[in-house]
Amino acid sequence: MIGSVLLLTRKDVASLMKHADYLSAVEAAFRADKEGRAASPMPMHIDGDGGVFHAKGAALIDGGAYVALKFNGNFPQNSERFGLPTIQGAIFLCDAGNGSLLAIFDSIEVTLMRTAAASALAAKHLARKDARILSICGCGDQGRVQAAALSEVISFEKAYAWDIDAGKAVAFAREMGKTLGFKFQCVEDCRAATIAADVIVTATTAAQPFLTLSDVAPGAFVAAVGADSPHKNEIAPALMAAAKIIVDVLGQCAEMGDLRAAIAAGAIAPDDVYADLGDIVTGCKPGRQSSRDIIIFDSTGTALQDVASAARAYERAVAAGSGQMIALGAL
C-alpha cells in the first residue's frame, strides 16, 4: 500500500534476528563495501545536554537496494538519572530505487547486536586459534551481547568481568556464567581481568584511557568498542602504538575512535593502521600472522552494519508478517 510503513519494535527485531544472523549480515556489509556495492558518509555528531546524538547513514546494493539512516542519542548517565537506556533512537530503512520509506525500527537491539557481531567477525579472523580466556571490561548491555557474540566464534573456557561499578561486575558474572555455560569471575582490578586474557573487550563510557600496554599480554586480541565519540577514549596511545590496528572505517576512527586519541598524542599516524575489517574479510590483507602480536580492533560502529542488519530484519519481518503497518504517508 502506497504510504504504508512497517513499524518494528525492539521485541519484533529480537524475535527475527539472532547473533549468527547479525554476524552474517555484518560480514556481507563489509564485503559489499570493499567490492563497491555499499557506501557510507561520515556520521553527523550533535552535542546534547549530558550526551550526544549521532546520525549515521549508508546505502547497500547487495541482493536488494536499501538506504538506512540511524539517529541515536547516547547519554551515559541515563540509567542513574532517569532510569532510561544509554542508547535510544530509531532506524529508517528506505528503498534505494524509489525513495520510499519501508520501515522504522527501534534502534537499541540493532545497535547492540551489530556492534557485537563486528567484534565477533574481527575475532574470528584475528584472535589466536587457541584463545580460551575472555575479559569483559564494562558490564553493561553491550558487554553482555559482546560476550555472547564472541562465544559463537570462540570456545571460551573462562572469563573475567570488570566494571568501575563492582556491583555490576558481580551481577554480570553470575548472569553470564549461567547464560553461556562457562565460568565468569568478577575482579575489582582491571589488570587482573586483562593480563591473563586472550580476548579483551572494552565496552565502557570512559573519557580517559584505562587499558595500557602493561595490562595486555602478547598475542591478545582487543575489541575496543566504547570510544564512539571524540570525547571517549579507552585504549592508551602507547598500547595503540605497540599493536597491529584494524579499524572498521579508517576516516571515522581517526575522528572518533581510540585511533583519534593516539593520533592526537603523536603516538601513531593514520598510515600506521594495518587494515580495515573489509580488507581482512575479503582477504585483501592477511589476518593474524604471529601468535605474539597484540591486535586491536578499533570499532566505532558504521552505518554499513546498520543498513545490512536492518535490511535482513525487514525482509524477514515481511515474510513472517511481523510488526505493524502504519499509513504514515496517507492523506
Domains defined along the chain, listed by start: 5-111+304-326 (3.30.1780.10), 117-301 (3.40.50.720)
SS3 string of the chain?
CCCCEEEECHHHHHHHCCHHHHHHHHHHHHHHHHCCCEECCCCEEEECCCCEEEEEEEEEECCCEEEEEEEEEECCCHHHHHCCCCEEEEEEEEECCCCCEEEEEECHHHHHHHHHHHHHHHHHHHCCCCCCEEEEECCCHHHHHHHHHHHCCCCCCEEEEECCCHHHHHHHHHHHHHHHCCEEEECCCHHHHHCCCCEEEECCCCCCCCECHHHCCCCCEEEECCCCCCCCCCECHHHHHHCEEEECCHHHHHHHCHHHHHHHCCCCCHHHCCEEHHHHHHCCCCCCCCCCCCEEEECCCCHHHHHHHHHHHHHHHHHHCCCEEECCCCC
pLDDT, residue 79, reads: 83
pLDDT, residue 331, reads: 66
Pairing state of beta strands 295-298 and 324-326?
unpaired
Report residue 295 as a C-alpha cell. 591486535
Closest Cα partner for 51 from 203, 261, 231, 209? 231
Q: What is the pTM of this model?
A: 0.95
pLDDT, residue 16, reads: 97
d(CA 237, CA 212): 8
pLDDT, residue 1, reads: 57
Would you call 203 exposed, middle or buried from its count of C-beta atoms within 10 A (0-12, 13-18, 19+)? buried
d(CA 10, CA 312): 15
Which entry of 18, 34, 56, 70 is annotated as an active-site residue?
70
Contact 161, 176 (CB under 8 A): yes
d(CA 99, CA 222): 39
The list of the chain residues with pLDDT below 70 reads: 1-2, 63, 330-331
* Residue 124: active-site member: no
